[in-house]
Amino acid sequence: MTAGNDVDAQSLPAFQQYQLAFTAHIRNPGQNKLPSKVPASRMKVYTEIVFNNLQSSVSACFPVASKVLGKRAWTRLVRDFFIHYQSATPIFRQIPEEFLKYLSMAPSLPPYLYSLAHYEWIELAISVADIQDATADPAGDLLEGKPVLAASLALLSYDYPVQLISPRFRPDAPLPQPVNLLVFRASDDNVRFIELNALTARLISLLKDGELSGSISGRQALESIATEMGQGDTQSIIQFGHAILIDLKAQGVILGTVIPG
Amino acid sequence: MAQLSDSRYAAIKGAGLGLKRELIPQVQAEFGKPIIANIDFLEIAPENWIGIGGRPAKQLAWFTERFPVACHGLSLSLGGPDPLNEDFLHQVKQFLDLHKIPLYTEHLSYCTDFRDGVGGYLYDLLPIPFTEEAVHYVVQRIRRTQDILERRIAVENASFYVAAPISEMDELTFIRAVLEEADCDLHLDINNIYVNSINFGFDAHQFLRGIPGERIVYSHVAGHYQEAPDMIIDTHGEDVIDPVWALVVEAYQLFGAFPTLLERDINIPPLSELMREVDMITAYQAPYLIHDESLIRKKVALR
């Protein structure tokens, strides 16, 4: 993409040609000349302020990814984002999501970086999602009743141990099995992460799908897991699963059960 | 002396404070106490709050239930080369209606570009060249905004650092032309007049006298960073300086004591320190508020 060089640029009013030259220079001062007769010292104020503000907005959401990459590489990455990407949102808290979209197609990044950035972004997304918890019976029977999950919640599966990555630990290969993480907004509005085993992840996934299609009971969810596993001992799966449901309730992932009516 | 407070925005009067995240717990803790008695209204940027849930949504509801709130937008890009973001404007309208916010203002600037037929946000306020064509272009976008929002908006005079060599008129002529042709209101930023007067070497008081006072809905004061004798960066990160207060006083003399709000965006001191400046606004307004009984009562109570 080349900035400000549209073929029909000449047909634009003079003030818009000037504006496009102005913004093209701000985005990529190394490549695009500043508009003619504009003092370089004054123009520099814009090239610095605009980029620094953007970089702060992006970096605030990605404290680990920026440290893992290192200051110089991170700054270059944000600059590439600014040069190559047309951010489409007027809403400031969505800037990190735009950056994430850019990362998904950015060349030559460490293979784990997108997963790590996604893991950092999801905390923000879950904390401010515009969705409210449904009412639930906190004393309901989690096995026979239909469990209600925290409304702002996401089940995640990453090929890298994103929760462990730091400047001292940069994974050089994907995990043999993906890591399952649950992130949710608790009733106190704080965001929590829980690492899940495969069975619990499947259970939450079934309950979540069930909520969309009219709810299923804890027992129904566990019975279908037993069927999926092709295991004869449904009873022990239900027993084991019941304990998981009680634990998820204690952690605030499950709020209670659907109130009939 | 002009009208005291615009009846269209009766709730927006007196002295105000820009509501930054850092200030939320402090204002909540001091609510109802004398120290913040002079905060008559608050201002938020809709871009920080539209479509938000969770804790910040509850905070916003707390404030809109207790204070009159004005919305001061940052992302509309009234002067931008890309198409006006009408989806966003519909979101703004919903937001204003939901929170019963009477007033929405925006900057006379742009924050987007247009590359390969796609608009993109740069998230900063950039100066529109002051040309005849730009006047008509901006006017048509302000009108469209007012149509979608089903209300008048006010536009704010922006601060800037580069004068476009292609400009055909001065800033004041540009502002006046836009206001008249669009028939919209003015959100007067008094600090920006001062900043631009230093950055471009004109007389701020003379500029002020040319402002169409009858269009002012409210004003801003703020501090800034003086980088060089002829260069100010509009940081909103310092205390308001005396020459800016002098402009505030002259503006009240010229146009009456319109509502005025303190902006502080970085280096935010404790609320008690910020209140000293909010209290100064109240004090400067006092001599020009003889007709507004509710504000007079407040003043008496403070004595």
Q: Does B162 touch chain A (CB under 8 A)?
A: yes
**A70: alpha, beta or left, given left = phi > 0 and alpha = psi -120 to 50?**
left
Instruction: Return the pLDDT at B4.
Output: 45
Show which of residues 231-260 on chain B sit within 8 Å of chain A, judged by CB atoms. Answer: 231, 233
Contact residues for A72 (Cβ-Cβ < 8 A; gap 6+): none
Band (B298; pLDDT cuts 50, 70, 90): low
Instruction: Return the pLDDT at B300.
Output: 46
How many degrees, rounded to 5, is the angle at CA A85 between CA A114 and CA B110? Answer: 135
Pick from A19, A57, A90: CB nearest B81: A19
- Interface residue of B44, B58, B85, B115 to substitute, partner A, most A CBs within 10 Å: B115
How many degrees, rounded to 5, is the angle at CA B23 between CA B22 and CA B24? Answer: 100
Kindly provide the residue ranges of all beta strands, DSSP E only, lying in chain B, ordered along the sequence.
15-18, 41-44, 69-72, 103-107, 110-115, 118-126, 154-156, 185-189, 216-222, 225-228, 231-233, 260-263
**Average of per-residue pLDDT across B112-116:** 97
Q: Note whether A54 contacts B164, CB cutoff 8 Å.
A: no
Q: Does B85 touch chain A (CB under 8 A)?
A: yes
Query: What are the φ and ψ backbone dihedral angles of A195, each rounded to 5 degrees?
Result: -85, 135
Cα of first residue to Cα of last residue in chain B, in angstroms, is 26
Q: Note whether B113 contacts A4, CB cutoff 8 Å.
A: yes
How many degrees, rounded to 5, is the angle at CA B219 between CA B216 and CA B223? Answer: 155
Angstroms from B254 CA to nearest CA on chain A: 33
**Average of per-residue pLDDT across B166-176:** 98
Buried b (16+ CB within 10 A) or exposed e, B53-70: bbbbbebbeebbeebbbb
In whole angstroms, what is the distance from residue B103 CA to residue B100 CA?
A: 9
In whole angstroms, what is the distance from residue A199 CA to residue A183 CA?
A: 16
Residues of chain A contacting B165 with CB distance shorter than 8 Å: 35-38
In whole angstroms, what is the distance from residue A84 CA to residue A98 CA?
A: 12
Pick from A1, A16, A185: CB nearest B116: A1
* Six-digit token string for A94: 């969505």
Angstroms from B69 CA to nearest CA on chain A: 19
Residues of chain B contacting A85 with CB distance shorter than 8 Å: 120
* CB of A185 closer than 8 Å to CB of A111: no
pLDDT at B137 over 80: yes
Q: Note whether A88 contacts B55, CB cutoff 8 Å.
A: no
Q: Residue A156: beta bridge partners? A: A181
Angstroms from B166 CA to nearest CA on chain A: 7
Cα of first residue to Cα of last residue in chain A, in angstroms, is 57
> How many CB atoms neighbour CB A135 within 10 A?
11
ipTM of the complex: 0.93
Q: Note whether B54 contacts A88, CB cutoff 8 Å.
A: no
In whole angstroms, what is the distance from residue A81 CA to residue A103 CA?
A: 8
> How many CB atoms neighbour CB A38 within 10 A?
20
The distance from CA A244 to its chain's CA centroid, rounded to whole angstroms, is 26
Q: Does B135 touch chain A (CB under 8 A)?
A: no
Residues of chain B contacting A45 with CB distance shorter than 8 Å: 161-162, 231, 233
How many C-alpha atoms does B292 have within 13 Å on its Cβ side?
25
Residues of chain B contacting A44 with CB distance shorter than 8 Å: none
Q: Does B31 touch chain A (CB under 8 A)?
A: no
Instruction: Return the pLDDT at B27.
Output: 98
Higher pLDDT residue, B240 or A210?
B240
Residues of chain B contacting A129 with CB distance shorter than 8 Å: 53-54
* Six-digit token string for B183: 């028939």
Chain-wide mean pLDDT for chain B? Answer: 94
* CB of A117 closer than 8 Å to CB of A60: no
Pick from B55, B81, B126: CB nearest A16: B81
In whole angstroms, what is the distance from residue A104 CA to residue A97 CA?
A: 11
How many C-alpha atoms does B51 have within 13 Å on its Cβ side?
16
Strand, helix or coil at A61? coil
Q: Does B133 touch chain A (CB under 8 A)?
A: yes
**Share of chain A residues as helix, strand and coil, in percent rounded to the nearest 5:** 50, 10, 35
Residues of chain B contacting A1 with CB distance shorter than 8 Å: 115-116
Q: Which of B196, B214, B222, B202 lies closest to B108, judged by CA?
A: B196
* CB of B103 closer than 8 Å to CB of B12: yes
**A229: alpha, beta or left, given left = phi > 0 and alpha = psi -120 to 50?**
alpha
Residue type, B256: G
Pick from A36, A87, A127: CB nearest B54: A127
Q: Note whether A3 contacts B122, CB cutoff 8 Å.
A: no
Pick from B48, B77, B114: CB nearest A20: B114
In whole angstroms, what is the distance from residue B93 CA to residue B99 CA?
A: 10
Show which of residues 264-303 on chain B sit within 8 Å of chain A, judged by CB atoms. Answer: none
Q: Which of B165, B169, B175, B255 lies closest to B219, judged by CA?
A: B255
DSSP secondary structure, B122-160, as one string: EEEEEPPP--HHHHHHHHHHHHHHHHHHTS--EEEPPP-
Residues in chain B: 303
User: Chunked in runs of 10, what are the mean pLDDT values of chain A (261 residues)?
Assistant: 50 96 98 96 97 98 98 98 98 98 95 98 98 96 96 97 97 96 98 96 94 85 93 89 98 94 73
Q: Does B83 touch chain A (CB under 8 A)?
A: no
Q: Would you give the DSSP letter of residue A109?
A: -
Angstroms from A212 CA to nearest CA on chain B: 20
Q: Does B113 touch chain A (CB under 8 A)?
A: yes
* B51-78 pLDDT, tens digit each: 999 999 999 999 999 999 999 999 999 9
Query: What are the φ and ψ backbone dihedral angles of B45, each rounded to 5 degrees?
Result: -95, 120
Q: Residue B218: beta bridge partners? A: B187
Q: Note whether B134 contacts A89, CB cutoff 8 Å.
A: no
Residues of chain B contacting A37 with CB distance shorter than 8 Å: 165
Angstroms from A141 CA to nearest CA on chain B: 28
Q: Note whether A6 contacts B131, CB cutoff 8 Å.
A: no
In whole angstroms, what is the distance from residue A245 CA to residue A200 CA?
A: 9
In whole angstroms, what is the distance from residue A237 CA to residue A250 CA?
A: 20
CA distances to B60, B74, B203 from B22, rounded to whole Å, are 13, 19, 36
* Helix intervals (H) in chain A: 14-27, 40-59, 63-69, 71-84, 95-103, 113-128, 198-213, 218-229, 234-251
Instruction: Return the pLDDT at A212.
Output: 75
